[in-house]
Amino acid sequence: TLLSNLYYRFAPNWVAHLQSRHGKRPNNREFNEFQVDLATTIRCNWRGVVSYQLTEPKDHRVAFHVRLDEGRPEKPSTPPLIWP
């Protein structure tokens, strides 16, 4: 089995992610499967992803995801106390 995982950032807000598997099963059937994701930041913390997946036997899937991510965790305003 040959596995590949490629990640490429086109711009600060656009990312492409490709995953693929190629090989042969024990019953001598070859397989070629892959998934492509294209992700972007829509506004502030809104994330959008379009996915295309091909699995054997010839199953094509397309998915659209939109989600609201949490922002960065806030830094504590005061340093933590070591001793009570």
Reported as a single tens digit per residue, the pLDDT across 46-75 is 889 999 998 877 888 899 988 887 655 455
Q: What pLDDT, in 10s, does the model give residues 38-50?
A: 998 887 778 899 9
Taking the complete model, does pTM exceed 0.75, yes or no? no
**24 φ, ψ (degrees, to nearest 5):** -135, 135
